[in-house]
Structure 1
Amino acid sequence: MEYIGILIRLQKWVNLFSGYILWLMMVYLTDVWELKLIHAAAIINIWMGFIKILPIVFAYLADAFLGNSFVVLFSSFSSMIGLGLIWMSTPPILGKSNGNCTQYKPECIGEQQKQLFYSGLVFTALGMAALSACYAPFAQEQAEEAAASNSTRRVGWCRTHLVAFAALLIAAFVKPWAILFGICAILGVVSFFFCLIFRVCLGVGNPAPRPQGSPLTTIFRVLFVAASKSFCSRPKDTNELYENSDDSLRELLPHTNGLRCLDKAAIIEAEPVLEQQEKKRWSLCKVTEVEETKLFIRTIPIWMTFIVCGFVSSLGATYFLEQANHLDRRVGKAKAPLILFYWFYDHFRKSFTKGFLPTMASSTRRYISRIGIAAAMIYATLACIAAAKIETRRLGVVKSHDLIDKPNERVPMTVFWLLFQFVLLGCHDGIHRLSAYGLSLDQAPKSMVKYFNLFARGFFGLGVMGSVVLVDIVGKISEKRTGTNWFQTTLNASRLDNYYWVLASLGAVNLVIYIVAACFYRYRVPRDGQLAEGLLPVGFMDDDHI
């Protein structure tokens, strides 16, 4: 229905606008709070990592208990609360009432404001994760009822770019952080109340689809039943394992010889009778359910290689942004806004996704998703190499102008040197996201395509969070080997170029590990049909702006 389309587009635009503003959070923490470089980066990366990991939890809750529409409503509510708390944590809002100053200085940040800020990050992470989990399924549910016309899609495309352009202008010309976060908070309130009105008032005659259960429950059941029957002997004839071919809604999978310990979940015991065993879902599983679990377990080694990709992706909103904040941004008499680099990153991320799509739809599609992931890893390595060389150049300028102990001084080097690493990082993230989805579409059972994609992003997010631990380990090793920690309080005193070389080396090693894992992976024959743009989930890439 039309009002549902309005709601979906509104959620998309608010998420896009807020993503642009919140991307600058690293600058806020280092300039206003004056946190140490790695402390600020740790806060941002833990926050972004949770945004990518938690969708697995919300997708399970939506499928098993709550439904997509309720989780989308919760997402809007949580984002509204989180954005409001972040706005309230800025010094001008509650400074006087708490007896603090109202200037953007670290001494004006009291304990209560810190608590509000961290609580706001938690709520925004929950809101964005919930939206990421259920935005595409909720939009798909509505698209099945009423398909939008091509003209409507073109209008939506234009309006999306207008929202991005508006965020770009506001972030460029509006300097007070309280106003920037306040605009996001107002949009969050508007989005929530629109969502609530549409859900309560207009959805009375159109009840939301009831949850049908989560495929993750099947995996838990198979593991539990296989463990409970660990002392049972497997039949020599696999045809004696339990299967119900009458279930026309499920894609039947043939038995495979790998991970045979899980076959015990499909063993039919002598007692009680089969009809009674079928009624107890946690005592007997079908062969198809066992094979779905095997597919999930076999894919884990592939997903684990995504952790290093997350290490690299974590650089964009942290160390790359901090580099840009300390370089010369002058273009004639004007200044290039920092948010411009996020626009470049996001533009190339989506452009390379669309550019890689026709390749994914080719006749060699069964190989393209695997090659695409490898290509994304190559882009990740190239991004680190470019970042290392540019940072070495920047540090040379810092030393030649004696700016090591002057962290607030602008380095006389144009900020546009950083375009190379932002563009390469955008290419990596875009191709990786599409290729991971293509692999999920090809290899996952139909009922688990969404979860395979979410787990791929979850392992990616684990890498974003894990970068905090990696930085700590690299710092301690560098201090032990050289006597100086590569990560100092300020950017000018740090040696990020060496860290980038470490990531480039890890990326190269990870590429080799991925190729080995991909060669040993037991692939299914891809489903019929091509991965054309129309077969991508509704809202693909619209739910991921952080």
Structure 2
Amino acid sequence: MESSVRDVDEATIMKSSTRRKNGGWITFPFIIATMAGLSLASGGWTSNLIVYLIDEFNMKSIKAAKVYNVINGCTTLFPIVGGILADSFLGCFSVIWFSSLISALGILLLLLTSAIDVLRPASCDDGSSLCTSPSTHQYAVLYMALALASLGIAGTRYTIAPMGANQFDKPKHQAIFFDWYIFAFYTSFAISTTVIVYVEDNVSWSWGYGISMAFNILGLAMFLIGKRFYRDVKEQGGSPFVNLARVMVVAIQKWRVPLSEQTQHYYHDHLTTSQIPTKSFKFLNCAAFITEGDTKPDGSISNPWRLCTVQQVEDLKSLIKLFPLWASGFLISTQLVIQTSLLILQALKMDRHIGPHFEIPAGSMSVFILLFTCIAIFIIDRLLYPFLAKYTRFTLTPLQRIGIGHAITVISMAVSALVESRRLRFARSHKLKGENNDIVPMSVFWLVPQLALNGIGEGFHFPGHIAFYYQEFPTSLKSTSTAMVALFIGIAYYLGNALIDLVQRLSRWLPDNINEGKMDNVFWLCCILGSANFIYYVVCASFYKYKNIDNKSNIVPSK
């Protein structure tokens, strides 16, 4: 007995020593530098992708916008896959370095398409009838490059955050890390959206993609250099998605089993107190009901695909209750997807000059969204919340914060429609004067108000979503809560493409030359859909009951 206690103590001491030796603030510069390098690289090729496809691959403008949406959908959908791989099989370190290498290969292929003439079609004037479409092998190289680069982003962007947080023991230090992580992401993306995009538009695409690849390699190198300092934290409970799948499979297998009201007939793990499963979604309770052969003589589960714990059943029920609110994220994100993808097409047809010599790159306009999102978050966290706490008894809950973001986003779409109506009037007046130039004599800064509202709305609803799902997700699924937010954003990119396709089939609102269309009607359609979605959200939010009333405070992590 004394020997076993001594062994346990020695193991505890060794584990404690390892924890002291690895992790901590010494890992901070390596992980932040990795995030900054990879964000500079990804922003450098994604921000200006629509322009590259139009100018260098002779794509029609609407098709280029749809390709852009598909790529952004991949970068926000596939993090779920990266999270599963990291949690269940490979660990965060392996997923990050391998994904960084994949993204570098993708950017290298993009660099080759811009530098080698045979890998792209002959140039022409902005989609004229004389333009040559890309050949099969040119499309193959392009799409392979985009696939590799986007998969690389997906495997790193949402995996670096939990790995960095795992290097710290205290929640206070983890919170500080997240603040700097988000700062590094936003700052790097803003720099790439302006500086690297400017290089692509005014120097050459090869130089722009070369700089992006260099930052990608630098980020990967910094990550690998810090390897000896990292704390390797491996998840012991398996993938949470696998646990949810088990509940569904086992419940289906046992759906005919008569249930009992006795707590001893249900399986509980050692971390939870004995309880009868709740009566909501009662058919799932079968998954935790013990039948003959489900347990071993020592009381452990003999086959995890034949018996689940009560806690796993309740975790799935919690997610089902959250689903109606989660689904409201589809349309709010779809509105923003359409606005940002069509934004570049608008900017290309407007006066982007500042002075006689400098022209703003169309792909850089989205930097205004980043800027106003940061400003909104600062005002909310540093001014609004302290003011409410000091002078009122009112606290802004995460659901209320999301609702405000919904409303501001709808207003942003209305402003987009009004600005586009004005732009189209200028375009038609310009054409009546007999001028053939497609560039409308209207400053691109007319787009800033809608982008400002977009950013302010995102400053409300995006951190609100993160706070709400992190607070309300089951304890065993905390690490996946932010990935679920990324998931509905990713799906929204494909919904945005579907809506654009539908509009093109049923109307003439979105021709390849947007000066001849009615893009303002598209924005009004998004405004109507967003208003309906807002009403749906308010109804769902009014019926939702927080799991812990004490937790529905206004303490919201900064984006």
TM-score bracket for this pair, using the shorter chain length: 0.7 to 0.9
Alignment partner, residue 368 of structure 1: 397
Among 202, 208, 215, the alignment partner of 2:232 is 208
Q: What is the distance in 1 between the residues matched to 2:504 and 2:123?
A: 36
- The AA in structure 2 aligned to 1:469 is A
CA offset digits 1:360-380 (Å, max 9, x no partner): 797789861111221111122
Q: How far apart, in 2, do the equivalents of 1:149 and 1:298 lie?
A: 28
Supply the distance in 2 between the matched residues of 1:84 and 1:108 (Cα, whole angstroms). Answer: 23
2:415 match? 386
8 Å CA contact 2:79–2:483 kept in 1: the answer is yes
- The question of whether the paired residues in 1 share the 8 Å contact of 2:164 and 2:177 is answered with no
Q: Is the 8 A contact 1:349 1:427 kept in 2?
A: yes
- After superposition, give the CA deviation of every residue in 1:363-410 in whole Å (9 maximum; x if it has no partner): 789861111221111122111101100111000011111179988531
Distance 1:473 1:171, change over 3 A: closer
Give 1:504's aligned residue: 527
Q: 1:230 aligns with which of 255, 268, 282?
A: 255
Q: 1:32 to 1:9 in 2, by over 3 A?
A: same
Q: Contact 1:360–1:438 (CA<8 Å) still a contact in 2? A: no
2:39 pairs with 5, 11, 16, which one?
16
For 1:245 and 1:47, the matched residues in 2 are separated by 42
8 Å CA contact retained: 2:35, 2:181: no
Shift in alpha-carbon separation, 1:532–1:187, aligned structure 2, 3 A? same
Question: Do structure 1's residue 51 and structure 2's residue 75 form an aligned pair?
Answer: yes
Q: Displacement, 1:74?
A: 1.8
Deviation at 1:273, TM superposition (A): 5.8
Provide the alpha-carbon RMSD of the alignment: 3.4
How far does residue 335 in structure 1 lie from its aligned partner after superposition? 3.0
Cα 1:194–1:102 change in 2 (3 A) is farther
- SS at structure 2 position matched to 1:413: strand
Match of 2:197 in 1: 171
Q: How many residues align?
A: 520
Counterpart AA for 2:431: D
Checking the alignment, whether the CA contact within 8 Å between 2:350 and 2:439 is kept in structure 1 is yes
* Per-residue deviation, 1:124: 1.7
- Choose between structure 1 and 2 for higher RCO, CA contacts under 8 A separated by at least 6 residues: 1
Residue 443 of structure 2 corresponds to residue 419 of structure 1: no
C-alpha distance 44-124 of structure 1, shift in aligned 2 (>3 A): same
CA distance in 2, matches of 1:232, 1:30: 61
Q: Give distance in 1, aligned partners of 2:276 and 2:75.
A: 36
**Equivalent in the alignment of 2:279:** 257
Equivalent residue for 1:544? none
Gaps of 5+ in 2: 1-22
- Displacement of 1:73 after TM fit? 0.9
- Aligned 8 A contact 1:224 1:282 in 2: yes
CA 1:417–1:149 in structure 2 vs 1: closer, same or farther (change >3 Å)?
A: closer
CA distance in 1 between partners of 2:323 and 2:546 (Å): 13
Q: For the structure 1 residues 270 and 16, does the alpha-carbon distance in structure 2 shift closer, same or farther, using more than 3 Å as the test?
A: closer
Match of 1:342 in 2: 366
Which one-letter code corresponds to 2:399 in the other structure? Answer: R
Partner residue, 1:182: 210
Task: Report the CA distance shift for 1:341/1:253 in structure 2 as closer, same or farther (over 3 A).
Answer: farther
Are residues 151 and 269 of structure 1, via their aligned partners in 2, closer, same or farther at CA, if it must alter by over 3 Å?
closer
SS at match of 1:401: helix
Give the Cα–Cα distance (whole angstroms) in 1 for the partners of residues 152 and 240 of structure 2. 23
Whole-angstrom distance in 2 between the partners of 1:85 and 1:445? 42
Q: Distance in 2 between matches of 1:63 and 1:89?
A: 36
Q: Is residue 190–residue 370 contact of structure 2 (8 Å, CA) maintained in 1?
A: no
Q: Which residue of 1 aligns with 2:321?
A: 298
Alignment of 1:77-476 (within 5 A): 77-90=101-114, 93-95=115-117, 107=132, 110-144=135-169, 147=173, 161=187, 164-165=190-191, 168-172=194-198, 174-199=202-227, 202=228, 208-212=232-236, 213-235=238-260, 237=261, 239-244=263-268, 246-247=270-271, 255-271=277-293, 275=297, 278-333=301-356, 334-357=358-381, 368-402=397-431, 409-476=438-505
Residue identity matched to 1:352: A
CA distance 1:74–1:417, shift in 2 (3 Å): same
Alpha-carbon offset, residue 260 of structure 1: 0.6
Structure 2: distance between partners of 1:304 and 1:155: 28
> 1: distance between equivalents of 2:279 and 2:78?
33
**Partner SS, residue 144 of structure 1:** coil
Task: State the identity as a percent.
Answer: 23
CA gap of 1:11–1:273, structure 2 versus 1, over 3 A, is closer
